Structure 1
Amino acid sequence: MKTLLIGGLTMLCAFTVSAQGWLSQGARSGAMANNGVTLVDAFSYHHNPGALGFIEEGSAGISYESRYALKELQTQSFAVAVPLKVGVISTGGQFYGYDTYRTTRAGLGYSMKLSEKISAGVQINYLGTRLDPAYGVKHGVSAEFGALAKLNDRVNVGFSVVNISRTRLADYKDDRYGTLIRLGLSYQLIEELLIVAEIEQEINFDTRLRAGIEYHPIDLLYIRAGVQGAPMDFAFGFGLKYERLKLDISSQYNQILGWTPAASFIFDFYKPKK
């Protein structure tokens, strides 16, 4: 029974991941139901390359997620962002699945401020999909774009497009990695409370709406929660920050499929001279 369940979930996730070629990364975003397009940290590489233009310190992160607590549906990822004299250079990758079904997305990006309040970024990513023994391995290259605008001290608006290049997955029925469009808003209600909301649209899939909150009661601790629809998932988690180190833990809950735990770690390793 467990083998059949794993096989069914693998095929379900295979269609989803193959369509998108993208997965949300980092437990901070995961704890807020995958809201991430307006957040500024190392994992912005995976959510919105434009946000990395506001990174002021070199930052590196690693993340692990076990979807529905199954090792066959696990994801590992990393992201690194390094400020230069002009702009920010970045790299990142995500690796999903197991021996029979595995996807890889990894590449390089460049971001920069266009003004004091607006930043934009681009990426080039390698896409690999392995589905043995039926289809073997498929390779592709995608282009990504993102932007972040700080409307004022409290409100940020983020926008990103994943696979703007419409990379082909297979010739059969012109199967392609989907183009994913995300538009998000964040509002710093008070110094200790951040509210985020986002709309996500992928071709041939239902529109997803999500919202989340981040509460920062003391310097060390962050408490987070969120919800998203189509399908409905609930999320919660917490984060710890000590000097240059950040540890985040999250879990998402689907009423049918169960829990998805995740953890991530970020290290801000240097601050460039002005």
Structure 2
Amino acid sequence: MRLALRFSLYLLFVLLPCLAQAQADVPGGGRAAGMGNASVTLPDLWALHNNVACMASVQQLQVGAYTENRFGVQAFTTVALTAVYPTARYGSYGVSLSRFGDTQYSRQSIGIGAAHKLGQFSLGAKAEVWQVAVSGYGSRKAVTLSAGLQAEVVPGLYFGAYAYNLNQARLADIADERMPAIMKAGLAYRPYKKLLLAIETEKNLDYDADFKAGLEYFLLPEKLALRTGFSTLTGQATFGAGFRARQLQLAYAFGTYTVLGQSHHLSVACQFRKGKS
């Protein structure tokens, strides 16, 4: 048992750079995954994870579920639930739940976020409680604070910036592990309605900077989209598709790493008809 535990922890820390660079807190939906996680400007339900400020553009109550698996290893599976509720006068509010890992190592979180639109600018903030558990060593908790900004610079051109774990929270007694502190910024450009281009730079304080780029093209307006993207630091290329039927949205993404293998991402979201109140 001890040998298996040590091997699991060794495997985790060998692959940790790829996992840490993949997303600031927890993965942000199949759409973002399909675009190489160049998602700091995307205004959708999963903005609560990608850049909380973008949540201000959500127009209707939405709830969603997300799951991903990396490298075909069961221990590297993430599941998440997210809900966003917009109001007409007081901005948008969101709540999220997530879990990563297995019985040997697991990481769970519950977060709340708020975003408000002021003219062409959107501002947002998020607080998240994390619990990390290691078999044989117990569990510890930490609270992370994050903030974001999003703006439409000119019609069709968007800027986004997001800082995760501003307070640089630590998990005491588990090798004094610090939660990742990450900053990212990027641009998105929509030259015409069917096409979206996105670029982004992400910097984890413990690793080199990562440049990401993504593309989304609608074969059927508001119905069927194809996506692709890449990440320079991890060497990951991604491909995905999204489909919308009435109030239901499905998104799937497939990622391939040059050395480590493949990843699969799936999200489902439901949008309710009632608008802002």
Report if TM-score (shorter chain) is over 0.5: yes
Map of 1:113 onto structure 2: 117
Normalised TM-score (structure 2)? 0.91
CA contact (8 A) 1:207 1:230 kept: yes
Map of 1:103 onto structure 2: 107
Map of 2:53 onto structure 1: 50
In structure 1, C-alpha distance between the alignment counterparts of 2:247 and 2:69, rounded to whole Å:
26
- How many percent of aligned residue pairs carry the same amino acid? 24
1:1-274 mapped onto 2 (5 Å cutoff): 8-13=10-15, 22-84=25-87, 85-115=89-119, 117-133=120-136, 135-170=137-172, 175-219=177-221, 220-272=223-275
**SS of the residue 2:113 aligns to:** strand
**SS of the residue 1:90 aligns to:** strand
**Deviations 1:113-149 (CA, angstroms, capped at 9, x unpaired):** 122x11111111001111112x321101111101110
**SS of the residue 1:142 aligns to:** strand
Normalised TM-score (structure 1)? 0.91
Q: Partner amino acid for 1:247?
A: L
**Deviations 1:57-90 (CA, angstroms, capped at 9, x unpaired):** 1111110101112221100012111012321111
In structure 2, C-alpha distance between the alignment counterparts of 1:59 and 1:79, rounded to whole Å:
8
Pairwise CA distance, 1:178:
2.3
**Deviations 1:212-244 (CA, angstroms, capped at 9, x unpaired):** 100002132100000101121000010001121
Pairwise CA distance, 1:172:
7.6
CA contact (8 A) 2:18 2:234 kept: no
CA contact (8 A) 2:140 2:174 kept: no
CA 65–39 in structure 1, closer or farther in 2 if over 3 Å, else same: same
CA contact (8 A) 2:111 2:129 kept: yes
Q: Partner amino acid for 2:216?
A: E
In structure 2, C-alpha distance between the alignment counterparts of 1:123 and 1:81, rounded to whole Å:
13
**SS of the residue 1:69 aligns to:** coil
Q: Partner amino acid for 1:38?
A: T
In structure 1, C-alpha distance between the alignment counterparts of 2:62 and 2:174, rounded to whole Å:
41
CA 132–17 in structure 1, closer or farther in 2 if over 3 Å, else same: farther
In structure 1, C-alpha distance between the alignment counterparts of 2:215 and 2:201, rounded to whole Å:
15
CA 3–86 in structure 1, closer or farther in 2 if over 3 Å, else same: closer
CA 101–13 in structure 1, closer or farther in 2 if over 3 Å, else same: farther
Q: Partner amino acid for 2:49?
A: H
In structure 1, C-alpha distance between the alignment counterparts of 2:118 and 2:215, rounded to whole Å:
28
In structure 2, C-alpha distance between the alignment counterparts of 1:18 and 1:238, rounded to whole Å:
24
Structure 2, unpaired ranges of 5+: none
Number of residue pairs aligned between Structure 1 and Structure 2: 271
CA contact (8 A) 2:24 2:49 kept: no
CA 14–209 in structure 1, closer or farther in 2 if over 3 Å, else same: closer
CA 175–9 in structure 1, closer or farther in 2 if over 3 Å, else same: closer
Aligned Cα root-mean-square deviation (Å)? 2.3
Pairwise CA distance, 1:174:
5.4
**Deviations 1:173-214 (CA, angstroms, capped at 9, x unpaired):** 854212100101100022111000100001120100000100
In structure 1, C-alpha distance between the alignment counterparts of 2:266 and 2:19, rounded to whole Å:
20
CA contact (8 A) 2:107 2:131 kept: yes
In structure 2, C-alpha distance between the alignment counterparts of 1:58 and 1:242, rounded to whole Å:
16
Q: Partner amino acid for 1:244?
A: Q
Q: Partner amino acid for 2:183?
A: I
CA contact (8 A) 2:115 2:125 kept: yes
